[in-house]
Amino acid sequence: MSIQIVLLIMGSVLLAGSLLYVFLSRFNPAGGLGDRTPTNVYAVTAGAMSLLIAFTMSLTFGQYLSAQQSSQQEAGAVLSMSRAATFMPAEVRDPLRDQLVCYAQQVIDVEWPSMRDGDPIPTPEIRKTLEVMDGIVAANADMTGEGLGMWEGANTQRWVAHLQRLNIAGDSVPIILWLLLIFGSLITIGSLFIFADPQKPAWAHVLVIIGPLFVASAAIVVIAFFDHPYANMPGGVTPSAMEVTLRALTLDPIGNIPLPSCPQPG
């Protein structure tokens, strides 16, 4: 969802809600219905909705931060695996580092777009690359020396961060919570109509309703954004950390070791 769509949705909600409030105020008695309705009912409803919104926003914001941290940790682990491979013989080191380049490219070009669509399943390309790396290590375990322990430690960190990153791609806010947020906001804002006074000018009615409308719609938009941290919009979590790692793998030489590159299929 782009920023233009967000602005369009919020603008439409504010405009439609304000016009509806002004229109319905004409059917209220002079002075509104506020003197006939316990105002503490509105206060309790608004307070409960504020707590529900705060709880949901805290939940989704935690997911958003986890998405950032896991993507950074995974990129750092891939770089550590490349460093660990340099302690292995050339016939093991070079193919492992080549596969790490493949992995980084696949995360950026294949898995990230898949996560944007809400798919929390590792892509076939990623699974195949991991199988190739595991096969190389298993076939040459007696040759890897001290690099094997470093490789396995970094690979475990990558695995944990990878799973965490994928899990966050799914929806964290259950549908029942979305229904409570939407209907609760509508009920809370709708209760303001009892205070509409036909004797007041239209601009006064707009000032009464536009604040709660903005807060409710903005809260739902923010929760939706945090619930989809990989969305293709400003502020979304991008594979920038893995892009930095990929540049380091392919452009920064380590001594006389040849720079790695992803083998072309076929």
What pTM value is reported for the model? Answer: 0.79
- Give 38-92 pLDDT, tens digit per residue: 556 667 777 788 888 888 888 889 999 999 999 999 999 999 999 999 998 999 9
Which DSSP letter does residue 197 get? -
Q: How many structural domains is the chain composed of?
A: 1
Asked whether the predicted pLDDT for residue 129 surpasses 80, the reply is yes
pLDDT of residue 222: 87
Q: d(Cα 80, Cα 70) in Å, to the nearest integer?
A: 15
User: 76 lies in which domain range?
Assistant: 3-251
Mean pLDDT (the chain, rounded) = 83
The two structure tokens encoding residue 234: 């400003």
Q: Tell me which of 28 and 21 has the higher pLDDT.
A: 21
Q: What is the pLDDT of residues 211-251, one digit of tens each?
A: 788 888 888 888 888 888 888 888 889 999 999 999 999 99
259: in domain: no
As a whole number, mean pLDDT of residues 10-20 equals: 78
Q: Is residue 266 included in any domain, yes or no?
A: no
In a domain, 120, yes or no: yes
* pLDDT bracket for residue 170 (50, 70, 90): confident
pLDDT tens digits, 181-198: 888 888 887 777 776 667
pLDDT, position 192: 74
Q: Is 60 exceeded by the pLDDT of residue 32?
A: no
What pLDDT was estimated at residue 29? 59
Max Cα separation, the chain? 90
- Identify which has the larger pLDDT, 109 or 187: 109
Give pLDDT, residue 1: 56
Q: Which residues have CB under 8 Å from 213's CB, separation 6+?
A: 13, 14, 17, 18, 189
Is 46 domain-assigned? yes
Check pLDDT > 60 for residue 36.
no
For residue 94, tell me if it sits in a domain.
yes
- Average pLDDT score over residue span 13-20: 79
Q: What's the mean pLDDT in 169-185?
A: 84
What would the pLDDT profile of 140-162 be if each residue is shown by its tens digit? Answer: 878 777 788 899 999 999 999 99
Alpha helices in the chain (DSSP H): 3-25, 39-85, 90-106, 112-116, 124-139, 147-169, 175-190, 202-227, 240-251
**Contacts for 228 with CB less than 8 Å, ≥ 6 apart:** 1, 116, 118, 171, 236
Which is more confident, 195 or 95? 95
pLDDT of residue 220: 86
* pLDDT the model gives residue 214: 85
Calculate the CA 36 to chain-centre distance.
Answer: 46
Give DSSP secondary structure letters for 34-70.
Answer: GGGS-HHHHHHHHHHHHHHHHHHHHHHHHHHHHHHHH
What pLDDT is attached to residue 135? 93
Report if residue 258 sits inside a domain.
no
Domain-located, residue 257: no
Instruction: Give the pLDDT confidence score for residue 64 in this predicted structure.
Output: 92
- Tell me, what's the pLDDT at 27? 64
Asked if residue 25 belongs to a domain, the reply is: yes
